[in-house]
Amino acid sequence: MISVEEALERILSYVSVLEPEEKRILDALGQVLAEDVTSSIDIPPLDNTAMDGYAVRAADAAGATPERPVRLRVAGELAAGHLYEGEVEPGAAVRIMTGAPMPAGADAVVPFEDTNESGAHAFGRFSKAVDSVLVCKAARPGDNVRQAAEDVCRGALVLGRGAVLRPAHVGILASLGRTTVRVVRRPVVAILSTGDELAQVGEPLRPGAIYDSNSHSVAAMVLQNGGIPRILGIARDTVEDLTAKIRQGLDADMLITSAGVSRGDYDVVKDVLAREGEVDFWTVRMKPGKPLAFGAFTSGQRRIPHIGLPGNPVSSMVTFELFGRPAVFKMMGKTRWQRPVVRATSEERIVNTDGRRVYARAVVTQRDGRYYASLTGPQGSGILTSMSLANALAIVPEDSPTVEPGEEVSVVMLEWSQGED
């Protein structure tokens, strides 16, 4: 039996970062940037106004106060997207809207709130065009002006290779005028359930059968973590059927099977693995999830990593979380797959019977600045509802005795929300 850390290390040594692909910027959301993105333009391209108001020469309005306003001649109006022709002369101002480029000669903007447009009469495109305006507050050079290139300078490195694209990144790419971007492609993960007792959803349930839930919970986890799941279906517990079904998945980037790895069944998966590839390890010192198998299938020149998850529905999800998710992340080019771990006060007894690391399904809540962990009910590895209620896994280390109520435990946060998204 190897440790959780060693198992993860071995699995990750078999998987590598996938090749890049060109994607439309929105479709690249969540993927890892495979190029350095530099800008060929300044953003903003020109000095422009941050407020609706009057573009002025600051020197003209330097002494303005509400009691002693300064009257300026209104020389014109300017909306965003238009350039002002000519120059703002001393004693003049241009009525200007947010985002419009600063007219030549002006070096400050006085917001409407600090002006008095009384005497206004309507003409032209804008309803409130005026002949002259009173500035009621002193202006200093640069007031309410957004400087050209204050966000991005032409030639600057804006996004670095390795960044995980979030909505702001997609927006930045658009602001640079990019339609597509190079990102590491998402891994295709083939998923196969094994077991004579399994029935496909949608089929009637014959006596003694259960529905295959693992294919779906694991596929959902692959999807949620950025991979592309490909459900292969159900293989019967025979070498022939398992071999045939596994071969259908060998063009994927990784193969995940569930079940057929516990002591009674293991021989089938092991026989197939040994014949078509190699077995790296079997059994990890953890609970649930001890009978985890790992190896690789060979297909031509390719070696396809294979994680054999245990069949119990909770075990397969917990082991995918600990080993499958980091493998998917690594293939996607992500380097940080550690979940946040916090210390919480256990509200319940968490039993550790046989020196394996326990991952108990827990609900973590925060009260008065402290975290509390309670179990989600019976912890049997077949009780999938215990997983659906959990937002965390509480860890009892291999060498620690049972945790008593009131004692501290480390909890891996799966979700920060407390039950509701």
Cα(413)–Cα(2) distance, integer angstroms: 24
Is the Cβ of residue 292 or residue 360 nearer to ligand AMP in the bound state? Answer: 292
Least CB distance from residue 287 to Mg ion, whole Å?
A: 19
Least CB distance from residue 224 to ligand AMP, whole Å?
A: 18
308 touches ligand AMP (CB under 6 A): no
410 touches ligand AMP (CB under 6 A): no
Q: CA of 134: how far to CAs of 51, 56, 115, 118, 223, in Å?
A: 17, 12, 5, 8, 61
Q: Which residues contact 86 (CB under 8 A, 6 or more apart)?
A: 75, 76, 103, 104
Single residue of 21, 52, 197, 347 touching ligand AMP by CB under 6 A: 197
Q: Is the peptide bond before 378 cis (omega within 30 degrees of 0)?
A: no
Single residue of 79, 210, 220, 341 touching ligand AMP by CB under 6 A: 210
3 state DSSP class of 408: strand
3 state DSSP class of 386: helix
Cα(334)–Cα(31) distance, integer angstroms: 9
Least CB distance from residue 256 to ligand AMP, whole Å?
A: 11
Q: Helix 266-276 and helix 239-247: axis angle, to 10°? A: 50
Least CB distance from residue 267 to ligand AMP, whole Å?
A: 12
Cα(98)–Cα(85) distance, integer angstroms: 18
Least CB distance from residue 338 to ligand AMP, whole Å?
A: 28
Cα(330)–Cα(324) distance, integer angstroms: 10
Partners of 242 in beta bridges: none
Closest to 81 in 3D by CA, of 92, 94, 96, 91: 96
Is the Cβ of residue 281 or residue 337 nearer to ligand AMP in the bound state? Answer: 281
60 touches ligand AMP (CB under 6 A): no
Single residue of 53, 69, 101, 195 touching ligand AMP by CB under 6 A: 195
312 touches ligand AMP (CB under 6 A): yes
The CB-nearest residue to Mg ion is 195
Considering CB under 6 A, how many residues would be counted as binding ligand AMP?
20
Is the Cβ of residue 195 or residue 226 nearer to Mg ion in the bound state? Answer: 195
Footprint on residues 234-263 left by ligand AMP (CB under 6 A):
258-262
Is the Cβ of residue 262 or residue 374 nearer to Mg ion in the bound state? Answer: 262
265 touches ligand AMP (CB under 6 A): yes
Least CB distance from residue 259 to Mg ion, whole Å?
A: 4
CB 386 within 8 A of CB 378: yes
Is the Cβ of residue 172 or residue 259 nearer to ligand AMP in the bound state? Answer: 259
> Which of left, alpha, beta for 20 (phi over 0: left; psi -120 to 50: alpha)?
beta
Footprint on residues 333-372 left by ligand AMP (CB under 6 A):
none
Span of 189-197, 242-250, 269-277, 338-346 interacting with ligand AMP by CB under 6 A: 189-197
Single residue of 193, 319, 376, 391 touching ligand AMP by CB under 6 A: 193
Question: Taking CB within 5 to 8 Å according to partner kind, which of ligand AMP, Mg ion, none is near residue 310?
Answer: ligand AMP
The pairing of beta strand 254-258 with beta strand 188-194: parallel
Cα(283)–Cα(290) distance, integer angstroms: 5
Residue ranges binding ligand AMP (CB under 6 A)? 193, 195, 197-198, 210, 212-215, 258-262, 265, 310-313, 382
